[in-house]
Structures are given as C-alpha cells and as structure tokens.
Amino acid sequence: MGYLPPRPGNGLAIAAVVMSGLALLGVLGFGLFMGVGMATAPSLVLQGDVTPTGTTVAGTELESALTRAVEDDGGQVDEISCPDTSAVGQGLVTVCHGSVDGFDWTGVVVFEDESGTFIVNPL
C-alpha cells in the first residue's frame, strides 16, 4: 500500500463559518454594551432655568435649579454654592462650586437669554 493523500473535507469551511459567527456576535455584543453605557451615562452639559428678578438671579435660586438639573441627570448633590447674585443675560457666565456624588464639583453656568434659561458644564 502506498501513501494516500488526505480526502478533501468541509472541516476548514465549517470552522471558518463558526469563527465568523462568533466574531459577529462579539461585535454586536460590544456595540450593545457601548450603547447601553452611553444611554445611562451622565450628560456632559446640563440644562435648566431660573426666574430672574430684573437682570439678576439670587444665588439660592440658582443653587436650587442646579441641584434639580444634577439630580435629574442621576447625580447626588451633597452641596452646591453659587455667588449671592448672578447677572442674567445672553452669554453671561457665573461659576458655582460644591460636592456631587462625594467629589468636588465646579459648574460653569452660561445663561442663554434674559429669561433665565441656562446650560451648565460641570468641570
């Protein structure tokens, strides 16, 4: 008896299909993981509004509005402190400090208009 070459089979093709399927499942699983993580992650910029008195807002009212915005976004506010009064108008900025989720927190509040709508970028 002489040497017989191996019979061609489907083993390699089946292995390739199985490995491709596993790779596809891995990519889909990673995409789902990232999608859920992004959906539940805190926002980078928060929005809110206050009711100004003339062209200013009291610090206590701004603190309350910031506390609502942070807590609505899933944070736990320990303390927020703002200046006694802040000027309200398009593009005007004030900075508040405090503690959120047990960490030091600084929020740059940018008023969008004279009616007290603002965004805050936590640093």
> For all residues of the chain together, what is the average pLDDT?
86
83 by Cβ neighbours in 10 Å (0-12 / 13-18 / 19+) ranks as: middle
- The confidence score (pLDDT) of residue 123 equals 81
- The confidence score (pLDDT) of residue 65 equals 97
Chain segment 58-77, per-residue pLDDT in tens: 999 999 999 999 999 999 99
Q: What are phi and psi of 121, to 5 degrees?
A: -105, 105
Residue in 78, 88, 84, 85 with CA at minimum distance from that of residue 112: 88
Nearest-Å Rg of the Cα atoms of the chain is 28
Return all residues near 22 (Cβ < 8 A) that are at least 6 apart.
none
Chain segment 105-121, per-residue pLDDT in tens: 999 999 999 999 999 99
Is a pLDDT exceeding 80 seen at residue 37? no
Band of pLDDT at residue 54, cut at 50, 70 and 90: very high
- Whole-model pTM over 0.85: no
